Amino acid sequence: MKKSLIVLATLGAFAGAASAQSSVTLFGVVDLSVNSIKNGSTTVKRMDNNQLNSNRLGFRGTEDLGGGMTAGFWIEGSLSNDTGGTGLNFQRRSTVSLNGSFGEVRMGRDYTVNFLAMAGNDAYGANGMATPANLYALGVAQLGSGAGTTVRANNMVAYFLPGNLGGIYGSLQIAASEGPAGASNKFQGGRLGYAAGPVDVTVAYSQTGESPKFKDTTIGGSYNFGVAKLYAFYDQKKFNANKYTTYSVSAGVPLGQGEFRVAYSKGNSSANNSDATLFGAEYIYNLSKRTALYAQYGNLKNEGASNLSVVLGENTAAGTKSTGYGAGIRHSF
């Protein structure tokens, strides 16, 4: 009997050690705001998702393989919290990876190098009424390339440099077309940056498609002055002879338990000789590390055939204004 108890105890100890080498985390964001949006001459009072951070529900985990190597996975889907609608399909990110002293090899659906370079040099982080994402995410459609890699790419294999290179970071990405139907989303891209102390600078370049190719070039950086952090980037998307160019300057100013943000961005399309100018401000008050209240304002002026809105993914009449203001709450877990 005693021997049986010793064996069971030993097996239990080994099981505990094995489980300690792996971890799985459930995480998410719930973000909702009440807003007034005026597109052209039409004003709508509404509730919106994703105005401070993108709603999500996800699972991520790692396993210690020994010898300094780990395996991991990350699956993450979007949520429509205003209606409780379905749509949790893990299209935000769905990857499996292998990490070691060599860096990281990651496969699946993930953010592209250009989007990471832009969102990382945007005080708004690609969310809100004044994020330059309201310009480049839809403005690129005017080029007519059909590329679906402005933000993410499917079927991707990526390599990330290890984090011990004295501030140098970078990645390479290749996404397969997987047949003629996906030829317009065949993707290759790379990013190289340097971050040390208050300075962070990066450059990214990618090509999508076969002939002609949709080309994207991004140069960005930030500097933390302590009392404020300044961000800026330049991005040019090109297809045939047409270009969509975005310039953005933004800042985040810590204020006690909160932060004040302001941004100015401009987008230009050579395809139809149109411009969009976006300005806005936002204040965030942190009730805790996970819960925040926020208020924001955005003003977007379209010229020519430009028809963009302060709400990401929406349009207004060409050549009109889009303005919005509202307040919301975000909780992360």
At 212-223, the pLDDT tens digits run: 999 999 999 999
Q: What is the CATH number of domain 45-332?
A: 2.40.160.10
Per-residue model confidence (pLDDT) at position 84: 84
- Mark the ranges of the chain whose per-residue pLDDT is less than 70: 1-20, 86-87, 181-182
- What distance in Å separates the CA atoms of residue 261 and residue 182, rounded to the nearest whole number? 39
Domain boundaries, the chain: 45-332
Per-residue model confidence (pLDDT) at position 178: 84
42 burial level (CB within 10 Å; 0-12, 13-18, 19+) = exposed
- What distance in Å separates the CA atoms of residue 187 and residue 221, rounded to the nearest whole number? 24
Q: Strand ranges (DSSP E) for the chain?
A: 22-39, 42-49, 56-66, 69-77, 93-100, 103-111, 152-160, 168-175, 187-196, 199-208, 214-224, 229-239, 242-255, 258-269, 274-286, 291-303, 321-332
Per-residue model confidence (pLDDT) at position 16: 47
> Phi then psi for 9, rounded to 5 degrees?
-65, -40
- Tokens 């509730």, residue located: 47
Per-residue model confidence (pLDDT) at position 15: 44
